[in-house]
């Protein structure tokens, strides 16, 4: 099939960008979306034009590197699917496809469709962990974890940190991402000692990164390739209120370095 | 080349404990003064960096992805082995050790493998303490599953995302130390040079992939945790960014490269659908528990799978290996599929596929049972191929998956270059000629959490390290060499893209150095690869500049290394005149097509030493089997 | 106190403030609705109810001040969050599609502004009489009849009630989430409560201008 592509091109972080039109010929329905772009790039290069830069690595929906706003939805039209696992049979001959980078102040464009998602790392660095220095652990079966809790924790832990939630959210809120980690660790017995501290620090860092707040649009949940539920946002809210009431944690001031 | 493996003496079970007692220690006050450079943030790199920082060392950690959490370890699905014996089915350190040694077809070092089995239990404890949500039973205990090559259930898993959850655990530990300022993280940085001062590894040169800047980083020791090189084949189950660059450039600086030809081919991957194909997707091996593998008996049969009557189907695994049937080990199943396709009986586009058919299981157990067991895999298959495997049999084909070869290391995980340590898939250490399922994750974390943090202290405590910083002339020279290479790529201005060369190399590697190898094929490849390489250096086209984010330029460097390294792989495969594990030489097989080891001549590790402008030299580290008897694998 | 300020300092805390003040306003509006529909029984009922309120003296002023504070806090938080959200996406998409966000959720902000305008108008209209020529102190029932004789005013009230209903339906749903209450087992009841209350309060209040438009009070 033949497709008309409108793609955001931007040579560098400080440069101005613009949408540009391309035509993709001979697209097979079996191609993945990224393979379609590979083919377009191959052609651009033979014409002496620089290829379109886009982020990708595993190409099997788990590393969270790929991104792309495709026709106004993150990771394209198919639910619970990353761009690398989206196949061209989701489109038809003659379609016009708009491809843009994630848009958020916290995610500045580095080049074309590539953005900087390092705020997510800093949110984790501020408290998204359990302090368990190597070698200090007791036997793994010493603390039993009820299966339902462990399953819920796993649901939340499945987040791949792709940033589609931020891209989809009309407020550019990072609440789904942040809450997934707060919920994952907060649901496990091992995560209890730092629970108050964790949520205070992570929300603090999230706000410092200048993401928006949450109005419960739930666009994030719909866009999330791992189907992380907005229930986790309620868990985060609950933990934050609880931490405020109990007043046992404090925001790490040095957090967020690097 | 100094290839002293430094294996401690004494009974197998005591070696590691004794060694721990003998290792020199760095005092807490002095740890702060040492700076360790860790390249790679996968399971091995992230766990090492976090643990070293917890101990008090200054650590800098590098990865080429935009976040350490995206290292390729994230893609592992199946699970991680550990000799916990939680199922009370008779597992033990010895059994895990023995399974691993045997699985590796007796081409690994006994002492290393035993230590791996020993620390495996600590890994699970550590990960659970970090909050890794392993699967659990209703009673709250950890669940286990069984995996290929073992008769006990010792595999821990987190849904189909074990690698992801383990990596996130290590990543969180790493981020914690980054938040404390104990680790400095350099994402989107690619190591291009290893820098030696007075024969010791003292730093690296890395390119900031966003600004294009070439930067030098000096330290007291360098740890490579840069993963495997399966992408030498272009198509593999590895992520697109996986490369051999860091390891290969260390090799060019004198580090020995061990067993480069040992690659593992995974039998159940989704076949290639066209030449635009960019990577192959692994489907869990567990599918073979209920799926039957077949191809049509007739050559060039173009009927749909449902139109081929039972009597005209060849269930070749069941025919050839009646006792193991569809569950024959990875290498055997892979080779049998290739044979069927080479014979012109393959199915699907290009005839490169075999059927994995669930219809008889669906009849026997009902669709619901199959859905419960494999629902998510079936969904993934349908997402990629657009075909519904409940109705039409799946098509599968083998794909390159893992590389057992890697930089040579001694018992302390140090290469022959003092100060250069290598952990995870990047080293050659524990899997011999074939890796068992669920053992790579175990090895990466064993190295990073429980071995390197001790052994590196021994090196640092013992070495007399003069002060070296990034202004040293060795760094200038390395920076210049790296920049010069990039500028050459940009100035060639030929006609072909980097990818087109990579694909061409991949074809040669797959055909001649893939599942089955032989002398003529390898010799063909050894002739062909230099030709491709020569054309690459004359006719590659890389646009843009070195001062910006430039993905084709990044790839050019990696492909340039693969173009040299591929030759080394073929060379190694040619010299190893036996069949063992993943290395199958068609000349060395039994009359009924089984691998034939040559223990007399090849019970050794082959280590290659780079020679500037000349053929590399092959060295040997003999493998002494003191504690186990060499046996022949049989799956009939 | 410090803890409360720290909470307010976060985006989540501002939402908590909105949810808390929103709930106070909702409670007020429930009683406001009930007392207002008394007009259908007999306008005098309304007058005596108003008189009762007035007899509370200082307590009434405390209640009024509390209500005013809620409105102000609610608006301050809404304003800050709106500005944060705007700043968080300086470059917008060339093509953006909403997939699940409801109309109610998407009109929280402009709807809120409309509600604010309505409240100001409404107080000048019925409470102080500034905008209602012929307004008589204490004759609440008559004032309402008089006020809705103007068709544009009645329509404005109806539009405001429509947005009130929308604001409510998402607001209540969302307030639960903000306060940490989201669980699959009672999400259905939560939806029903949100819609039910929205319909009862906004619908109940809307019956008055609607009845006026239909000539009921003639
Ligand atoms: C699809 C798939 C499924 C698998 N399933 C299993 C399983 O179920 N069980 C199991 O045990 N094993 C499994 N494996 C194998 C296992 O996942 C890997 O062997 C293991 O994770 C490797 O870890 P690592 O830390 O050594 O390397 P990686 O995780 O690959 O990390 C490499 C790191 O090095 C960095 N790096 C590389 N080159 C450079 C450079 N030049 N400069 C800077 N940084 C660099 C990368 O950024 C990355 O951070 C699977 C592998 C694949 C491909
Ligand atoms: C059709 C709908 C409504 C009608 C008919 C109505 C009617 C009235 C009347 C008659 C009064 C004056 C009472 C008195 O002076 O004692 C009043 C006061 C008031 N109304 Fe409404 N109202 C309506 C909707 C609303 C809404 C939607 C709000 C808020 C969002 C609101 C908020 C108020 C407030 C704050 C006062 C002042 C109370 C006081 O301080 O005495 N009203 N309303
Ligand atoms: C006076 C009657 C009002 C009531 C009863 C009310 C009620 C509520 C409630 C319950 C919420 C949900 C809070 C949460 O999600 O936790 C809410 C949200 C909101 N309200 Fe109101 N509100 C009123 C008036 C206003 C006014 C006058 C404005 C604006 C000027 C406004 C703007 C908003 C906005 C913007 C939100 C969404 C908050 C966000 O985006 O995060 N509301 N309201
Ligand atoms: S919550 Fe979902 S959308 Fe957001 S980063 Fe995680 S996986 Fe991506
Ligand atoms: S879309 Fe945005 S508003 Fe909240 S529920 Fe999701 S973060
Ligand atoms: S490339 Fe890894 S998730 Fe898409």
CATH number of residue C73's parent domain: 1.20.1300
With cut-offs at 50, 70 and 90, classify the pLDDT of residue B151: confident
Q: What is the pLDDT of residue B584?
A: 95
- Asked if residue A204 and residue A90 are part of one domain, the reply reads no
Element (H, E) at A249: none
**Which of the residues B107, B115, B188, B330 is marked catalytic?**
B330
CATH number of residue B526's parent domain: 1.20.58.100
Residue C218 falls inside a structural domain:
no
Least confident of A253-257, B8-12, B233-237, B629-633: A253-257
Ligand 6 centre distance from Cα of residue B125 (Å): 30
B244's tokens: 């051999």
Name the residue among C3, C89, C177 with its Cβ closest to that of A216. C177
- Asked if residue A246 and residue A144 are part of one domain, the reply reads yes
Q: What is the pLDDT of residue A252?
A: 56
Instruction: Find the domain containing C201 and state its range.
Output: 2-213
Distance (Å, whole) CA A157 – CA C184: 19
- Asked if residue B478 and residue B618 are part of one domain, the reply reads yes
- Residue B101 half-sphere exposure toward CB, CA atoms < 13 A: 26
Q: What is the pLDDT of residue A256?
A: 41
Mind telling me how many Å the CA of A220 is from chain C's nearest CA?
9
- Asked if residue B478 and residue B395 are part of one domain, the reply reads no
Task: Express each pLDDT in B492-514 by its tens digit.
Answer: 999 999 999 999 999 999 999 99
Task: Express each pLDDT in C112-167 by its tens digit.
Answer: 999 999 999 999 999 999 999 999 998 999 999 999 999 999 999 999 999 999 99
Distance (Å, whole) CA A50 – CA B545: 10
- Asked if residue A128 and residue A246 are part of one domain, the reply reads yes
User: What radius of gyration do chain A's Cα atoms show?
Assistant: 20
The mean per-residue pLDDT over the stretch B17-45 comes to: 97
Q: What is the pLDDT of residue A56?
A: 98
- Asked if residue A70 and residue A141 are part of one domain, the reply reads no
- Asked if residue B358 and residue B490 are part of one domain, the reply reads no
With cut-offs at 50, 70 and 90, classify the pLDDT of residue A109: very high
Angle between helix A195-208 and A118-127 (nearest 10): 150
- Ligand approaching nearest to the C-alpha of C179: 3
Cβ-based neighbours of B503, under 8 Å, separated by 6 or more: B234, B275
B100's tokens: 């691993």
Query: For residue C113, how many other CB atoms are within 10 A of its CB?
Result: 15
Contact check, Cβ <8 Å, B383/A125: no
C-alpha separations of A180 from A39, A117, A167 in Å? 36, 16, 16
Return the HEC string of C87-103: HHCCCCCCCCCCCCCCH
- Asked if residue A249 and residue A124 are part of one domain, the reply reads yes
C-alpha C133: how far from chain center: 25
Please tell me which residue, B595 or A44, carries the higher pLDDT value: A44
- Asked if residue A17 and residue A71 are part of one domain, the reply reads yes
Name the residue among B134, B278, B383 with its Cβ closest to that of A85. B383
Residue window 16-35, chain C: list those with CB within 8 Å of chain A.
16
Distance (Å, whole) CA A114 – CA A107: 9
- Asked if residue A187 and residue A89 are part of one domain, the reply reads no
> DSSP string covering A95-123, please?
-EEEEE----TTS-EEETTEE--HHHHHH
Where is the domain boundary, A110, A134, A157?
A: A110
Q: What is the pLDDT of residue A255?
A: 44
CB-CB contact of B36 with B55 (8 Å): no
B330 catalytic per annotation: yes
Contact check, Cβ <8 Å, C99/A223: yes
CATH number of residue A41's parent domain: 3.10.20.30
Residue window 245-284, chain B: list those with CB within 8 Å of chain A.
273-274, 276-279, 281-282
- Asked if residue B496 and residue B364 are part of one domain, the reply reads no
C19's tokens: 């949810």
Q: Name the percent of chain B lying above pLDDT 90.
A: 88
Instruction: Find the domain containing A37 and state its range.
Output: 3-110
CB-CB contact of B83 with B120 (8 Å): yes
Where is the domain boundary, A65, A85, A110?
A: A110
Mean pLDDT of chain A: 95
pLDDT over 50 at A257, yes or no = no
Where is the domain boundary, A67, A85, A110?
A: A110
The β-bridge relationship of strands B189-197 and A96-100 is unpaired
Spell out which residues line ligand 3, taking CB within 6 angstroms: A 213, 215; C 15, 18-19, 22, 25-26, 71, 74-75, 78, 81, 108-109, 112-113, 115-116, 119, 167, 171-172, 174-175, 178
Domain count for chain B = 2
Q: What is the pLDDT of residue B150?
A: 77
Query: For residue B71, how many other CB atoms are within 10 A of its CB?
Result: 33
pTM comes to 0.96
Distance (Å, whole) CA A108 – CA A117: 8
- Asked if residue A249 and residue A207 are part of one domain, the reply reads yes
Q: What is the pLDDT of residue B591?
A: 85
Q: ipTM of the assembly?
A: 0.96
Domain count for chain A = 2
Task: Express each pLDDT in B583-615 by its tens digit.
Answer: 999 999 988 778 899 999 999 999 999 999 999
Distance (Å, whole) CA B208 – CA B519: 42
Q: What is the pLDDT of residue A258?
A: 38
Residue B152 falls inside a structural domain:
no
pLDDT over 50 at C173, yes or no = yes
The phi and psi torsions of C44 (rounded to 5 degrees) equal -65, -35
Where is the domain boundary, B364, B382, B399?
A: B399
- Asked if residue A195 and residue A94 are part of one domain, the reply reads no
C-alpha B581: how far from chain center: 15
**What is the SS3 assignment for A2?**
coil
Domain count for chain C = 1
Distance (Å, whole) CA B66 – CA B45: 15
Instruction: Find the domain containing B360 and state its range.
Output: 265-399
- Asked if residue B272 and residue B385 are part of one domain, the reply reads yes
Residue C199 falls inside a structural domain:
yes
Q: In the block, which residue shows the tokens 């309505």?
A: C118
- Asked if residue B616 and residue B480 are part of one domain, the reply reads yes
Least confident of A149-153, A252-256, B483-487, C190-194: A252-256
- Asked if residue B618 and residue B489 are part of one domain, the reply reads yes
CB-CB contact of B174 with B183 (8 Å): yes
- Asked if residue A106 and residue A56 are part of one domain, the reply reads yes
Residue C135 falls inside a structural domain:
yes
Q: In the block, which residue shows the tokens 């495996």?
A: B120
Task: Express each pLDDT in A155-164 by its tens digit.
Answer: 999 999 999 9
> DSSP string covering C2-31, please?
HHHHHHHTSHHHHHHHHHHHHHHHHHHHHH
Mean pLDDT of chain C: 94
CATH number of residue A179's parent domain: 1.10.1060.10
CATH number of residue B347's parent domain: 3.90.700.10
The mean per-residue pLDDT over the stretch B622-633 comes to: 91
> DSSP string covering A110-159, please?
EETTEE--HHHHHHHHHH-S----TT----TTSS---HHHHHHHHHHHT-
- Asked if residue B387 and residue B478 are part of one domain, the reply reads no
Q: What is the pLDDT of residue B25?
A: 96
Given its phi and psi angles, is residue B234 left (phi above 0), alpha (psi -120 to 50 degrees) or beta? left
Q: What is the pLDDT of residue B322?
A: 86
pLDDT over 50 at B274, yes or no = yes
């Amino acid at each position: 099939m033949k497709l008309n592509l409108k793609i955001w091109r931007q040579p560098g972080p400080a440069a101005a960008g613009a949408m540009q039109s391309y035509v993709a010929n001979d697209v097979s329905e079996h191609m993945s979306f990224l393979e379609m772009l590979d083919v377009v790039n191959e052609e651009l290069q033979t014409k002496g034009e620089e290829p379109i830069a886009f982020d990708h690595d595993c190409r099997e929906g788990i590393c969270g590197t790929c991104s792309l706003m495709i026709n106004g939805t993150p990771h394209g039209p198919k639910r619970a699917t990353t761009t690398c696992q989206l196949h061209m049979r989701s489109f038809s001959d003659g379609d016009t496809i708009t491809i843009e980078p994630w848009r958020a102040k916290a995610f500045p464009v580095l080049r074309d469709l590539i953005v900087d998602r390092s705020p997510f790392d800093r949110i984790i660095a501020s408290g998204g962990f359990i302090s368990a220095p190597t070698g200090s652990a007791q036997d793994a079966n010493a603390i039993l974890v009820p299966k339902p809790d462990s399953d819920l924790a796993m649901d939340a832990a499945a987040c791949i940190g792709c940033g589609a939630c931020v891209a989809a959210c009309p407020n550019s809120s990072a609440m789904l991402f942040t809450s997934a980690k707060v919920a994952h660790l907060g649901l496990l017995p091992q995560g209890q000692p730092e629970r108050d501290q964790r949520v205070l620090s992570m929300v603090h860092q999230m706000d410092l990164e200048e993401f928006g707040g949450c109005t419960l649009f739930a666009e994030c949940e719909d866009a999330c390739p791992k189907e992380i539920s907005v229930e986790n946002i309620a868990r985060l809210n609950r933990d934050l209120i609880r931490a405020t009431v109990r007043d046992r944690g404090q925001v790490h001031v040095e957090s967020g370095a690097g | 080349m100094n290839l002293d493996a430094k294996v401690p003496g004494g009974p197998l079970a005591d070696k590691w404990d004794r060694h721990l007692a003998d290792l020199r220690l760095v005092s807490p006050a002095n740890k702060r003064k040492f700076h360790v450079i860790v390249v790679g943030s996968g399971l091995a790199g992230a766990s090492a960096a976090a643990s070293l920082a917890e101990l008090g060392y200054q650590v800098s950690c590098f990865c080429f992805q935009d976040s350490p959490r995206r290292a390729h370890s994230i893609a592992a699905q199946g699970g991680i082995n550990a000799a916990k014996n939680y199922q009370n089915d008779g597992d033990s350190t010895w059994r895990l050790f023995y399974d691993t040694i045997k699985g590796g077809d007796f081409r690994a070092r006994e002492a290393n493998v035993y230590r791996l089995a020993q620390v495996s239990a600590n890994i699970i404890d550590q990960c659970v303490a970090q909050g890794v949500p392993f699967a659990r039973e209703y009673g709250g205990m950890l669940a286990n599953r069984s995996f290929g090559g073992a008769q006990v259930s010792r595999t821990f898993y987190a849904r189909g995302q074990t690698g992801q959850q383990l990596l996130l655990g290590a990543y969180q530990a790493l981020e914690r130390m980054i938040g404390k300022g104990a680790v400095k993280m350099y994402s989107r940085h690619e190591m291009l040079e290893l820098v030696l001062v007075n024969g010791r590894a003292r730093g690296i040169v890395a390119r900031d992939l966003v600004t294009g800047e070439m930067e030098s980083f000096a330290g007291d020791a360098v740890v490579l945790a840069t993963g495997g090189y399966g992408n030498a084949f272009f198509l593999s189950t590895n992520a697109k960014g996986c490369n051999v660059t860091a390891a290969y450039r260390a090799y060019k600086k004198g580090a020995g490269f061990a067993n480069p030809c040992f690659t593992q081919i995974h039998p159940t991957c989704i076949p290639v659908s066209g030449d635009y194909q960019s990577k192959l997707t692994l489907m869990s091996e567990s599918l073979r528990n209920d799926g039957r593998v077949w191809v049509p008996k007739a050559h060039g049969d173009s009927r749909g799978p449902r139109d081929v009557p039972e009597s005209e189907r060849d269930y070749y695994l069941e025919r050839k290996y009646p006792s193991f049937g569809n569950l024959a080990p990875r290498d055997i199943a892979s080779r049998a599929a290739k044979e069927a396709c080479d014979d012109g009986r393959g199915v699907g586009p290009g005839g490169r596929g075999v059927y994995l058919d669930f219809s008889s299981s669906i009849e026997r157990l009902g669709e619901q049972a199959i859905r419960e067991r494999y629902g998510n895999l079936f969904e993934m298959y349908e997402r990629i191929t657009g075909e519904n495997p409940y109705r039409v049999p799946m098509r599968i084909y083998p794909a390159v998956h893992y590389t057992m070869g890697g930089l040579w290391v001694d018992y302390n995980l140090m290469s022959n270059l003092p100060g250069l340590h290598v952990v995870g898939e990047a080293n050659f250490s524990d899997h011999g000629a074939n890796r068992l399922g669920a053992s790579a994750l175990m090895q990466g974390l064993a190295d990073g959490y429980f071995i390197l943090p001790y052994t590196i202290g021994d090196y640092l405590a013992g070495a007399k390290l003069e002060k070296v910083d990034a202004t040293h002339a060795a760094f200038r020279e390395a920076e210049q060499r790296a920049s010069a290479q990039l500028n050459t790529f940009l100035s060639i201005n030929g006609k072909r893209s980097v990818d087109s060369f990579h694909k061409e190399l991949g074809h040669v590697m797959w055909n001649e150095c893939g599942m089955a190898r032989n002398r003529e094929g390898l010799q063909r490849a050894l002739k062909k690869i230099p030709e491709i390489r020569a054309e690459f250096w004359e006719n590659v086209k890389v646009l843009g500049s070195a001062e910006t984010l430039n993905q084709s330029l990044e790839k050019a460097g990696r492909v340039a290394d693969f173009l040299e390294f591929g030759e080394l792989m073929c060379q190694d495969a040619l010299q190893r005149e036996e069949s063992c594990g993943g290395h199958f030489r068609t000349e060395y097989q039994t009359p009924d097509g089984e691998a034939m080891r040559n223990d007399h001549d090849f019970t050794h590790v082959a280590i290659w030493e780079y020679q500037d402008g000349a053929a590399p030299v092959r060295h040997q580290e003999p493998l002494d089997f003191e504690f186990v008897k060499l046996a022949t694998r049989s799956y009939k | 106190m410090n803890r409360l300020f720290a909470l307010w300092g976060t985006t989540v805390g501002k939402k908590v403030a909105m949810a808390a003040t929103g709930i106070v306003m909702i409670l007020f509006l429930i009683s406001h609705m009930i007392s207002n529909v008394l007009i259908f029984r007999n306008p005098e009922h309304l007058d005596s109810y108003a008189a009762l309120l007035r007899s509370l003296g200082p307590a009434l002023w405390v209640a009024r001040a509390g209500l005013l504070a809620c409105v102000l806090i609610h608006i301050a938080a809404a304003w800050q969050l709106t500005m944060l959200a705007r700043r968080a996406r300086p470059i917008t998409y060339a093509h953006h599609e909403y997939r699940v966000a409801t109309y109610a959720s998407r009109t929280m902000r402009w709807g809120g502004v409309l509600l604010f305008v309505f409240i100001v108008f409404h107080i000048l209209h019925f409470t102080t009489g500034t905008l209602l020529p012929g307004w008589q102190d204490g004759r609440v029932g008559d004032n309402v009849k008089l006020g809705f004789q103007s068709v544009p005013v009645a329509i404005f009230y109806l539009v405001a009630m429509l947005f009130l209903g929308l604001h409510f339906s998402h607001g209540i749903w969302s307030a639960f989430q903000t306060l940490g209450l989201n669980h699959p087992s009672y999400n259905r009841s939560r939806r029903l409560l949100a819609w039910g209350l929205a319909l009862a309060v906004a619908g109940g209040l809307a019956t008055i201008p609607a009845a006026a438009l239909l000539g009921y009070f003639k």
